[in-house]
């Protein structure tokens, strides 16, 4: 009787692959919005800053995610024989994860405004973000408040761009400082 209530291994595999497919499609949708949300790079009219990364900088930014994706690609193959699951689900799983890896490595556009951070096609309100206490080399690490260890939001780019971005982030996160201090004209006067 209890066995009748259990889902088959193939049904569970189909559910897992479907969920992964939705995640990949969701991320792809948001990545297509980058150019719409951030049409211009450099100094912004509101005193903010926008920049882009290159593929190599995205590897540095996403190294942890890439390592976990590699493990997730290998994992189903170890379980197929033991669970009597069709190997087609593992192939579909690996294909979707490969697409996700490609999306992680695509150069990204970032922007900082007085009220929001734009990254990965998403918009993040500053009151929901904070800087990590320990900053890694060659990227900026923000954390989503309330997410704990599951909320890192690294930003990639060239060192010059990251230095300017860090100045903007400090101003955006510090409510006592005036955002107007960071503007193209203020930088010229220094």
The reported pTM is 0.78
68 CB-contact burial (10 Å; exposed 0-12 / middle 13-18 / buried 19+):
exposed
Amino acid 65: pLDDT = 83
Measure the CA–CA gap between 164 and 21, rounded to whole angstroms: 36
- Of 50, 113, 100, nearest to 73 by C-alpha is 100
Instruction: Examine residue 77 and state whether it is found in any structural domain, yes or no.
Output: yes
pLDDT the model gives residue 75? 86
**For position 48, what pLDDT does the model report?**
86
Q: What is the pLDDT of residue 100?
A: 92
Which structural domain range is residue 117 located in?
A: 7-189
pLDDT value at position 175?
63
The count of structural domains within the chain is 1
DSSP H helices in 38-138 = 55-83, 87-105
- Would 22 be classed as within a structural domain? yes
Q: Confirm if 176 and 167 have CB atoms less than 8 A apart.
A: no
Q: What parts of the chain have a pLDDT lower than 50?
A: 1-2, 184-190
178 in a domain, yes or no?
Answer: yes
- Does the residue 81 lie in any domain? yes
In a domain, 2, yes or no: no
The token pair at 117 is 């951070």
Question: What residues form DSSP beta bridges with 154?
Answer: 141
For residue 149, tell me if it sits in a domain: yes
């Amino acid at each position: 009787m209890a066995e009748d209530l259990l889902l088959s291994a193939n049904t569970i595999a189909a559910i897992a692959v479907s969920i992964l497919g939705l995640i990949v499609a969701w991320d792809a949708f948001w990545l297509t919005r980058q150019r719409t949300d951030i049409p211009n790079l450099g100094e912004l009219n509101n005193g903010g800053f926008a920049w882009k990364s290159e593929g190599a900088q995205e590897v540095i930014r996403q190294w942890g995610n890439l390592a976990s994706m590699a493990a997730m690609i290998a994992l189903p193959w170890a379980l197929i024989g033991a669970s009597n699951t069709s190997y087609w689900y593992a192939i579909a799983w690996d294909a979707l994860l490969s697409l996700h890896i490609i999306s992680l490595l695509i150069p990204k556009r970032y922007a900082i405004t007085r009220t929001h951070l734009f990254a990965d096609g998403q918009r993040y309100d500053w009151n929901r973000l904070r800087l990590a206490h320990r900053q890694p080399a060659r990227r900026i690490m923000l954390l989503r408040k309330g997410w704990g260890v599951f909320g890192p939001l690294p930003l990639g780019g060239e060192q010059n761009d990251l230095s300017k971005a860090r100045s903007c982030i400090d101003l955006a996160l510090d409510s006592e400082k005036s955002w107007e201090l960071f503007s193209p004209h203020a930088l010229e006067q220094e």
